[in-house]
């Protein structure tokens, strides 16, 4: 076992961890926002919107994330330069990076999974609690903001925690579109030093630590509303 390389590679490891965490946070936050819309569309939307949201979730949950990522990166990515003026715009430095495509595809994919979880949770909120809100004169938006959504998120929290951990473990796919995430660093160390196991073990520790942090954070949030057993 040789871990002497760590001393020269730790800045790269730290940068990789930052990329991984960024991908996770961006996709979870924006995916969640998107998921709220998709879930509501399925529960209370008009028929055409319902069908669209359901179709979206089925397609994105039904295809491998790797393929979605590549379709976006090689497909849409190769079309972008053809948009007049885009290459000259201030957005181009972001749009040409693999990180952008990884973040977008992870977000879209996460949203599809989360929307299904939220849809179920929205339907699981007792009807009586919504009626109570209405009976006090709450408008639909107040009811959604104060009762329906927070209540549904509480119901879904344990499942969401699991989904976030799964999302963390999907991030190494970003490596295939040139993102220098944790896994990419391990790959680079192997190429440079011909060590196979040591770098993998080190990034494994990183992933486990991140998972522990995620589950801890969700425990804290869940504990805010104690549940009677």
Partner 1 sequence: MMRSAAALLVEDVHKSYGQHEVLKGVSVSAQNGDVISLIGSSGSGKSTFLRCINFLEIPDRGRFVFGGEEVLMKPGREGRAHPANWRQIERIRTGLGMVFQSFNLWAHRTVLENVIEAPIHVLRQNRREATERAEALLSKVGLYDKRHAYPAFLSGGQQQRAAIARALCVDPAVMLFDEPTSALDPELVGEVLKVIRGLAEEGRTMLLVTHEMKFARDVSTHVMFLDQGRVEEEGPPAQVFGAPLSARCREFTGSLSH
The site for partner 1 (CB under 8 A) is made up of: 126, 128-129, 131-139, 142, 146-147, 150-151, 154, 225-228
Helical segments of 45-97, H only: 47-62, 65-70, 77-79, 92-95
Cβ of 89: how many Cβ atoms within 10 Å?
Answer: 11
Closest approach, Cβ 221 to partner 1, in A, equals 12
Pick 70 or 218: Cβ nearer partner 1: 218
Pick 50 or 154: Cβ nearer partner 1: 154
Pick 78 or 135: Cβ nearer partner 1: 135
**Could you give the count of Cα atoms lying within 13 Å of 102 in the half-sphere of its Cβ?**
25
Pick 78 or 141: Cβ nearer partner 1: 141
Closest approach, Cβ 122 to partner 1, in A, equals 14
Pick 94 or 132: Cβ nearer partner 1: 132
Give the Cα separation of 227 and 214 in Å (integer). 20
Give the Cα separation of 136 and 200 in Å (integer). 57
Helical segments of the chain, H only: 6-44, 47-62, 65-70, 77-79, 92-95, 98-124, 127-135, 140-143, 149-170, 182-193, 197-223
Pick 93 or 128: Cβ nearer partner 1: 128
Closest approach, Cβ 134 to partner 1, in A, equals 6
Closest approach, Cβ 94 to partner 1, in A, equals 38
Closest approach, Cβ 125 to partner 1, in A, equals 9
Closest approach, Cβ 169 to partner 1, in A, equals 30
Residue of 67, 92, 78, 79 whose CA lies nearest to 176: 67
Q: What is the dihedral of CA 176, 182, 187, 192, to 10 degrees?
A: 130
């Amino acid at each position: 076992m040789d871990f002497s390389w760590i001393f020269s590679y730790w800045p790269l490891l730290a940068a990789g961890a930052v990329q991984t965490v960024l991908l996770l946070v961006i996709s979870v936050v924006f995916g969640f926002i998107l998921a709220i819309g998709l879930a509501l569309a399925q529960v209370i939307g008009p028929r055409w919107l319902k069908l669209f949201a359901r179709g979206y979730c089925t397609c994105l949950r039904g295809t491998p994330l790797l393929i979605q990522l590549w379709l976006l990166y090689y497909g849409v990515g190769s079309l972008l330069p053809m948009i007049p003026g885009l290459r000259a715009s201030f957005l181009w430095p972001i749009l040409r990076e693999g990180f952008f495509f990884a973040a977008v595809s992870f977000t879209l994919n996460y949203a599809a999974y989360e929307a299904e979880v939220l849809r179920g949770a929205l339907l699981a909120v007792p009807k009586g609690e919504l009626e109570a809100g209405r009976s006090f004169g709450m408008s639909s938006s107040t009811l959604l903001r104060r009762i329906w959504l927070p209540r549904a998120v509480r119901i879904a929290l344990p499942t969401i925690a699991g989904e976030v951990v799964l999302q963390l473990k999907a991030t190494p796919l970003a490596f295939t579109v040139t993102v220098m995430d944790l896994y990419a660093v391990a790959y680079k160390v192997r190429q440079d030093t011909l060590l196979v196991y040591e770098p993998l073990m080190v990034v494994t520790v990183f992933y486990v630590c991140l998972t522990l942090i995620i589950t801890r954070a969700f425990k804290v949030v869940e504990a805010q509303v104690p549940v009677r057993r």
